[in-house]
Amino acid sequence: MKKLLMGASALILVAACSGQLPGNTDAAGADSPATMDDAAAFVEKAEADFLDMNEYASHVFWVQANFITHDTSWLAARVGAEATEMGVEYANGTKQFKDLPLEGDLARKMKMIAQGLTLPAPSKDGAAKELAKITTSLDSMYSSGTIDIDGEKVALDDLEVMMGTERNPEFLKEIWEKWRMASAPQMHDKYARMVEIANEGARELGFKDVGELWLSGYDMPPADMAKEVDRLWGQVAPLYDQLHCYTRAKLNENYGDDVQPETGPIRADILGNMWAQTWGNLYEFAKPEGASIDYDLTDLLVKAEYTPRKMVEVGEGFYSSLGLEPLPDTFWERSLITKPKDRTVVCHASAWDIDSADDIRIKMCTKVNAEDFGTVHHELGHNYYQRAYKGQSPIFQSGAHDGFHEAIGDFIALSITPQYLVQIGLLDESQIPDESKDIGLLMERALDKVSFLPFGLLMDKWRWKVFSGEVTPENYNTAWWELRKQYQGIVPPGARPDNAFDPGGKYHIPGNTPYLRYFLSFIMQFQFQKAACEQAGWTGPLHRCSIYGNKEVGARFNAMMEMGQSQPWPDALEAFTGTRQMDGSAIVEYFAPLMEYLKEENKDRTCGW
């Protein structure tokens, strides 16, 4: 969890109203024109309130995520309501300074206060409380959902593993469909009401709807940012199209025409992931003949007797190798690293900054496998970023934009190469695959990275349509599957019930986490990788580069992180990569050998859907 109430990339608003905001009144109590001193006092008070109450609220949300009960949910709803009321009050308070010639940090902070609400409530009585009650309820409904499998109740984190390991298409369809009917249909009306309230709040702040509010946090006009997203997708879509074509053919060879036809879209439940967002679990089907890698990272971790804690310790070691300070003792004392046996928790992996200083933590139901090994490196990236910018003004304590926060850890995880596994003792030098196996290594990574790109894009495209009113509640599910087919080329395994609300089956929808950040991060992490490898003097293929142990790269990397959100994101991007534009060319370069392989394999196939 990032900053709860600061900056344009806040996830949830949690703080309490702390009295009248600074204004300018004369001796008789009448309003008088605001001054520059008033504006500075307003921002100073906002920062103090946000800083104080974020710490309090972070503790409340931490407890609720780790002890999901009626009472903790009540507490979370209450603090959420107080936060939303405060956020609306401060955002509306910025209007009194709109005609002042604000410059520099003061102007940037004022803008970020106005845009820092993820789900704003209107200022009318009761709206914030109703909104907070709905959002807390949606989150709890998702996290506590279970389904019945062979007479046993099974939770989501266990179902995720099953979706990646089971191969019986009928059983996969059962898991897939039951999960989406466990709690998501009950979310539908609450979600629609939430949209109504938040849109009213966004309009009160001067935005057309919540979608425009979300797009306003990227240091450019919202419409321009939407176009930028489409430009980036255009750069990488050809790579995805070839991977889709190849993967579909391999699934057809394995399952036959009755399950997966040779042409058209792919069945969503057979892609090895609950949401078909990454396909890495299909490597056994997709591995190139003669180029398969000779080791399985999960097996290596198990044989080396790794525990969840040791996985986190090794992840910390990567950042230490770059010259960054070790994690504080409180991280180890207060993080949740394994799933408790005696209570229900939110298992979705997350990184927390409790006090805007040194109380950083992760929360994971960590399993000893390759996927969670990468996730550990990712989540720690959030923590190191949070600690790097702790010296910034409170409003600037966030990523340069929300995609930066997600890209940091994934960029580090790109260095989980065979050479890195040798350096940490999981592989012998003799086990490093030679270049003839590179296609296998790239295929394995593309099934996670390239396959994700359209999913990362369409999640918010769906919400933008919902917030704008283009998609109405009765069409939520239809529009969802239209976008999934358009961008991903996937379809459900069967007809969906009239009451289905399949978007609610993905955490970030009921959790109200903007998702564009993930699409942007998958673009930017390869930009970071290319820049870092060039700084390290690497001259080989980009996919073989690991920056483990390079303190010079680490110093420049940390300098970018220390900037937080104090400057427009192009400044932060330039500080590390030397360029001011997000660019998909690095990911295209990274997978260039695989692209040639895919084109050759697909030359006699009918691609597209």
pLDDT, tens digit (0-9, with 9 covering 90-100), for 485-502: 999 999 999 999 999 999
Q: How many residues does the chain have?
A: 609
Give the C-alpha separation, 90 to 441, whole Å: 50
User: Rounded distance, CA 400 to CA 404, Å?
Assistant: 6
Question: Out of 349, 357, 479, 592, which one is annotated catalytic?
Answer: 349
Q: Among residues 200, 508, 515, 548, which one is catalytic?
A: 508
Active-site residue among 518, 548, 590, 597?
518
Please return the burial class of 289, using the count of CB atoms within 10 Å of its CB with bins 0-12, 13-18 and 19+: exposed
CA distance linking residue 540 with residue 544, whole number of Å: 7
* Single pTM value for the model: 0.89
- The verdict on whether 348 is a catalytic residue reads yes
Kindly indicate the confidence band of residue 22, based on its pLDDT and cuts at 50, 70 and 90: low
Least confident of 174-183, 309-318, 327-336, 459-468: 174-183
Q: Which pLDDT value is given to residue 163?
A: 92
Q: CB count, 10 Å around CB of 48?
A: 12
Annotation says 379 is catalytic:
yes
Nearest alpha-carbon partner for 399 in 551, 516, 517, 530: 517
Give pLDDT, residue 12: 35
The two tokens of residue 378 are 């990712």
Residue of 188, 244, 348, 377 marked active site = 348
Question: Tens of pLDDT along 275-331?
Answer: 999 999 999 999 998 877 778 899 999 999 999 999 999 999 999 999 999 999 999
pLDDT for 8 beyond 70: no
Which position among 188, 244, 377, 382 bears the catalytic label? 382
Of the pLDDT bands very low, low, confident and very high (cuts 50, 70, 90), residue 256 is very high
Which uninterrupted H or E stretch holds 146? strand 146-149
Instruction: Categorize the per-residue pLDDT at 23 as very low, low, confident or very high, splitting at 50, 70 and 90.
Output: low
* Signed CA dihedral, 543, 545, 547, 553: sign only: negative
* pLDDT for the residue 154: 87
In this predicted model, which residue has the larger pLDDT, 331 or 141?
Answer: 331
Catalytic, out of 378, 401, 405, 543: 378
Tell me what the mean pLDDT of segment 4-17 comes to: 36
Q: Which of 406, 413, 476, 548 is catalytic?
A: 406
Residue 346: closest CA among 356, 336, 332, 361:
336
pLDDT tens string 538-575 = 999 999 999 999 999 999 999 999 999 999 999 999 99
Answer whether 281's CB lies under 8 Å from 272's CB.
Answer: yes
Residues 101 and 123: their CA atoms lie apart, in Å, by 27
pLDDT at 21: 57
Catalytic residue among 379, 413, 515, 532: 379
Contact between 88 and 5 (Cβ < 8 Å): no
Helix (H) or strand (E) run with residue 491 in it: strand 490-491
The structure tokens listed for 353 are 């900054």
pLDDT digit string (tens) for 429-440?
988 888 888 999
Can you tell me whether residue 323 is helix, strand or coil?
Answer: coil
Give mean pLDDT, residues 374-393.
Answer: 96
Mean pLDDT score of the chain: 91
Residue 349: active-site member: yes
**CA-to-CA dists, residue 51 to 6, 25, 179, 477, angstroms:** 8, 27, 39, 39
Instruction: Provide the pLDDT for residue 84.
Output: 76
Please provide residue 347's backbone torsions phi and psi, each rounded to the nearest 5 degrees: -85, -15
377 as an active site residue: the answer is no
Neighbours of 431 (CB within 10 A): 14
